[in-house]
């Protein structure tokens, strides 16, 4: 792919035009490498499809919301770069976000599996390694100038960390293809990112690196809040789907295999699960609960 772009950036969206427009503008303004953007439009009944067409933005589309996993897999077929980036539509990328991702992923390229992620800035961090910063809950109240000023002053500086899982993420297409992309049984998408990391782990990947200087502002889980279900039913179902598939809790895998929130390592060691007595006790209790009551009532 000598004439291919440096990156192919996949963005799934579901009737979220106001966020998508800001995301795409930030990519245009702050991406340094040559790149291809493929938006997968779920439905598009809010005007997204018409706007995408007028702007001549490359896209795929399904008439219904197929969720994140299938959307990513459909859009992947259009990717022309060796390096695939997954980005959420409610993210605003900061200057140079792409260069370190590509630099780290391309260090091993197609020779050894490597999964690289950026770092999110969030008003209420959902991860211990996210940068805390409130620059607005939506595009209407977005304090873009203050965010860029704080970024340039070094206020949002962050070290690299272990455990690439969440977007923005970057991987060589060989390793995406090796694990079969995202697992569509996790639709609409809860825990699919951790499942993707687990599939890479099972394939022998031990390079999971998150880049502190690859920053995006994340407005929050605005789309996922619409599909969680009553009492977070779909989230609980996906968590138990992960447990049934891998025999381990997502949180256990993230803590003991990916070692999120620890000092960054070039290669992660083999799991230290043998020391996780409490984790195994909790796992046994959840398995017992699952076997006795079923997914529908498990928590």
Q: Locate 189 and state its tokens.
A: 């998408």
Distance (Å, whole) CA 155 – CA 133: 10
Q: What is the pLDDT of residues 97-130, one digit of tens each?
A: 999 999 999 999 999 999 999 999 999 877 778 8
**Count, residues in the chain:** 299
The pLDDT value recorded for residue 255 is 87
Evaluate whether 140 touches 71 at the Cβ level (below 8 Å). Answer: no
The pLDDT value recorded for residue 265 is 72
Mean pLDDT of 136-160: 95
Structural element, H or E, at residue 169: strand 169-172
- 66 contacts: CB under 8 Å, gap ≥ 6: 42, 74, 187
Structural element, H or E, at residue 69: helix 67-76
Mean pLDDT of the chain: 88
Quick one: which of 266, 260, 254, 264 has its CA closest to 129? 260
210, HSE (Cβ side, Cα atoms, 13 Å): 28
Residue 294 scores a pLDDT above 60: no
Residue with tokens 């060589």: 172
For the whole model, what pTM was predicted?
Answer: 0.89
Q: What is the pLDDT of residues 227-239, one digit of tens each?
A: 666 777 878 888 9
- Which residues lie across from 14 on neighbouring strands? 42
Q: What angle do CA 141, 144, 146 make, to 5 degrees?
A: 105
The pLDDT value recorded for residue 286 is 59
Q: What is the pLDDT of residues 185-233, one digit of tens each?
A: 998 889 999 999 999 999 999 999 999 999 999 997 666 666 666 777 8
Distance (Å, whole) CA 289 – CA 244: 13
DSSP 8-state secondary structure symbol assigned to residue 157: -
Distance (Å, whole) CA 189 – CA 232: 13
Domains of the chain, start order: 7-297 (3.90.550.10)
More confident residue, 18 or 267: 18
């Amino acid at each position: 792919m000598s004439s291919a772009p440096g990156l192919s950036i996949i963005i799934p969206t579901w009737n979220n035009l106001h966020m998508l427009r800001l995301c795409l503008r930030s990519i245009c303004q702050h991406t340094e490498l040559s790149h291809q953007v493929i938006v997968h439009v779920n439905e598009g009944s809010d005007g997204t499809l018409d706007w995408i067409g007028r702007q001549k933005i490359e896209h795929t589309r399904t008439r219904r919301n197929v969720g994140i996993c299938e959307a990513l897999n459909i859009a992947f077929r259009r990717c022309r770069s060796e390096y695939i980036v997954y980005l959420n539509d409610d993210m605003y990328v900061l200057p140079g976000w792409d260069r370190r991702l590509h630099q780290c992923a391309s260090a091993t390229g197609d020779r050894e599996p490597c999964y690289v992620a950026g770092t999110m800035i969030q008003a209420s961090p959902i991860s211990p390694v996210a940068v805390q910063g409130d620059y607005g809950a939506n595009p209407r109240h977005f304090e873009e100038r203050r965010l860029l000023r704080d970024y340039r002053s070094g206020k949002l500086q962050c070290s690299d960390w272990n455990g690439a899982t969440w977007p923005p993420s970057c991987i060589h297409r060989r390793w995406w293809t090796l694990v079969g992309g995202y697992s569509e049984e996790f639709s609409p998408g809860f825990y699919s990112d951790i499942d993707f990391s687990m599939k890479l782990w099972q394939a022998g990947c031990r390079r999971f690196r998150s880049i502190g200087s690859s920053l995006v502002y994340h407005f929050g889980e605005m789309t996922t809040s619409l599909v969680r279900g009553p009492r977070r039913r779909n989230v609980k179902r996906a968590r138990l789907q992960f447990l049934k598939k891998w025999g381990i809790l997502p949180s256990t895998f993230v803590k003991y295999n990916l070692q999120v929130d620890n000092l960054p390592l070039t290669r992660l060691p083999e799991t230290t699960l043998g020391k996780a007595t409490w984790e195994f006790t909790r796992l046994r209790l959840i398995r017992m609960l699952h076997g006795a009551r079923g997914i529908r009532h498990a928590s």
